[in-house]
């Protein structure tokens, strides 16, 4: 309602409704992976971060891997927001992230060697974020061993066990580490004992670990703050805030191909719960789409190519996982999958990456529908069993058979490349804002 009724002198009049403080605040821009990850989100965040004040991570842990190429330098980020390269930008690791502190500082040191500077005054870590311990990582591997042939192909970074600890309310947060250390020690020993009851072979040198965390506490202390109030202050001051989603929508624990998913909500809802900002604060939502489809690890993959074309995409696209170092499975672009993640995330814009990888293919297939018993499905199947019964319907488009790596204007693309992009936009019904045609931050076509 634009007006509210007010009774004055016995008469009802209409007066403008006063906006809430939240409505008057700035809106955040969110970047999310629209497939199974590895779409190039880090590159998009790096591009957008040159014009923002704050970049945030809201969920996941160092199971994520974002690569940013600046000139001849290639940065790999796992816990750090990709925007930390921008020396004018604050970087926030939110409460929804699970943090392996030794891994965080190792990541910082590696990127310092590549040229990362002045990060100490710009990195803020939520005191509500949960800690991933080394024994969480051991448990991750032991759980995968127990599953045998039914393993999920996790990164073994301890992310699932850490989120499990959080859900069963025996997890340990950064705030616990920075408080009374005797209470932290007690919680640590209780958590170790909990896992040793489940896995009798789990060996943890408790005294050594506690000494290690005394040192880590002092390293992380100056970086830690209550980030919810920090972000709301920034919103009220109309600061430009960018949120970098980790993993991707099809790995979301609720909306992905369960159980072959990650342990967090890496769709739009994870932004609110992982940072403490309300839905009304979300503005632009950028879905990042690779021009073909890839997936690391096990799980359904409806358009997977196990032939020479799949191998070609893997080779040309350098499809090796940043975190796992495992080769990525490759396949054709999948529109039903993208429609599903669009429903969940409400993309307002798309960025299509790695279009140049398709330069050498004479024809391209695009999955446009899933069929079951001859009927087109109007939803994405919830179970792997149902997905196994799905028949994929394709359209075939002609390729362009020429390099587009140096193109920087949409109209200069070959006509068949433009048609491929237009077909994607027509089918997903979301405007395409950018197109990636190379590794560097300059290799972006601004469509409008």
Active site members: 38, 66, 166
Nearest to 47 by CA among 358, 349, 386, 315: 349
Please tell me whether 310 is known to bind a ligand. no
Please tell me whether 227 is known to bind a ligand. no
Please tell me whether 63 is known to bind a ligand. yes
Please tell me whether 303 is known to bind a ligand. no
Phi, psi of 322 (to 5 degrees): -65, -40
Please tell me whether 437 is known to bind a ligand. yes
> Which string of b and e fits 222-247 if b means at least 16 CB within 10 Å?
ebbeebbebbbebbeeebbbbbbbbb
Please tell me whether 287 is known to bind a ligand. no
Please tell me whether 204 is known to bind a ligand. no
Please tell me whether 64 is known to bind a ligand. yes
Please tell me whether 294 is known to bind a ligand. no
Question: Is the link from the previous residue into 5 a cis peptide, with omega within 30 of 0?
Answer: no
Please tell me whether 40 is known to bind a ligand. yes
Please tell me whether 321 is known to bind a ligand. no
Please tell me whether 414 is known to bind a ligand. no
Please tell me whether 65 is known to bind a ligand. yes
- Given a contact cutoff of 8 angstroms between Cβ atoms, the answer to whether 4 and 14 are in contact is yes
Cβ contacts of 49 within 8 Å, gap of 6 or more: 55, 82, 83, 85, 86, 89, 242
Strand 54-57 with 28-33, pairing: unpaired
Residue 320 DSSP code: B
> Which string of b and e fits 282-310 if b means at least 16 CB within 10 Å?
beebbbbbbbbbbbbbbbbbbbbbeeebb
**What are residue 8's DSSP bridge partners?**
11
Q: How do the residues of the chain divide into helix, strand and coil, expressed in percent and rounded to 5?
A: 35, 25, 40
Please tell me whether 436 is known to bind a ligand. yes
Please tell me whether 354 is known to bind a ligand. yes
Please tell me whether 326 is known to bind a ligand. yes
Strand 333-334 with 363-372, pairing: parallel
Q: Which residues are annotated as a binding site for IMP?
A: 38-41, 63-66, 155, 169, 247, 262, 326
Question: Which residue ranges are tagged as binding site?
Answer: 37-43, 63-67, 155, 169, 247, 262, 322-328, 354-356, 436-438
Binding-site residue numbers for substrate are 322-328
Q: Which residues are annotated as a binding site for GTP?
A: 37-43, 65-67, 328, 354-356, 436-438
Q: Which residues are annotated as a binding site for Mg(2+)?
A: 38, 65
């Amino acid at each position: 309602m634009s007006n509210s009724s007010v009774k004055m002198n016995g008469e009802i009049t209409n007066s403008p409704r006063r906006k809430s403080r939240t409505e008057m605040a700035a809106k955040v821009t969110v970047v999310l992976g629209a497939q199974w990850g590895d779409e190039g989100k880090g590159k998009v965040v790096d591009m957008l971060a040159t014009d923002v004040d704050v970049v945030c991570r809201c969920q996941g842990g160092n199971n994520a891997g974002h690569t940013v190429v600046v000139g001849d330098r290639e940065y790999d980020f796992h816990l750090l927001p990709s925007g930390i390269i921008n020396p004018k930008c604050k970087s926030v690791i939110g409460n929804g992230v699970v943090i392996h502190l030794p891994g965080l500082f190792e990541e910082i040191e590696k990127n310092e060697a590549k040229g990362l500077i002045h990060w100490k005054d710009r990195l803020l870590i939520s005191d509500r974020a949960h800690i991933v311990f080394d024994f969480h990582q051991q448990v991750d591997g032991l759980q995968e061993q127990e599953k045998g042939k039914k393993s999920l192909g996790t990164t073994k970074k301890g992310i699932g066990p850490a989120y499990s600890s959080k859900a069963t309310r025996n997890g340990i947060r950064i705030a616990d580490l920075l408080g009374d250390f005797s209470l932290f020690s007690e919680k640590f020993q209780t958590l170790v004992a909990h896992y040793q009851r489940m896995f009798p072979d789990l060996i943890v040198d408790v005294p050594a670990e506690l000494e290690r965390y005394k040192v880590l506490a002092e390293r992380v202390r100056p970086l830690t703050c209550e980030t919810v109030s920090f972000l709301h202050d920034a919103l009220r001051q109309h600061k430009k805030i960018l949120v970098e989603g980790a993993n991707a929508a099809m790995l979301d624990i609720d909306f992905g191909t369960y159980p072959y998913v990650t342990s967090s909500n890496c769709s739009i809802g994870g932004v609110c719960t992982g940072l403490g900002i309300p839905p009304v604060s979300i503005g632009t939502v950028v879905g990042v789409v690779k021009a073909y489809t890839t997936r690391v690890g096990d799980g359904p993959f409806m358009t997977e190519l196990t032939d020479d074309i799949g191998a070609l995409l893997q080779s040309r696209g350098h499809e090796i996982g940043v975190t796992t170092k495992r080769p990525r499975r490759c396949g054709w672009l999948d529109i039903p999958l993208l429609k599903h993640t669009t429903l969940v995330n409400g993309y307002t814009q798309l960025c299509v990456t790695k279009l140049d990888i398709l330069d050498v293919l004479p024809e391209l297939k695009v999955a446009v529908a899933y069929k079951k018993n001859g009927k087109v499905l109007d939803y994405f199947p919830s179970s792997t069993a149902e997905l196994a019964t799905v028949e994929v319907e394709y359209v075939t488009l002609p390729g362009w058979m020429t390099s587009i790596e140096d193109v920087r204007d949409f109209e200069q693309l070959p006509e068949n490349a433009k048609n491929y992009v237009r077909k994607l936009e027509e089918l997903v019904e979301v405007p395409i804002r950018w197109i990636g045609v190379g590794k560097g931050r300059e290799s972006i076509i601004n469509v409008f």
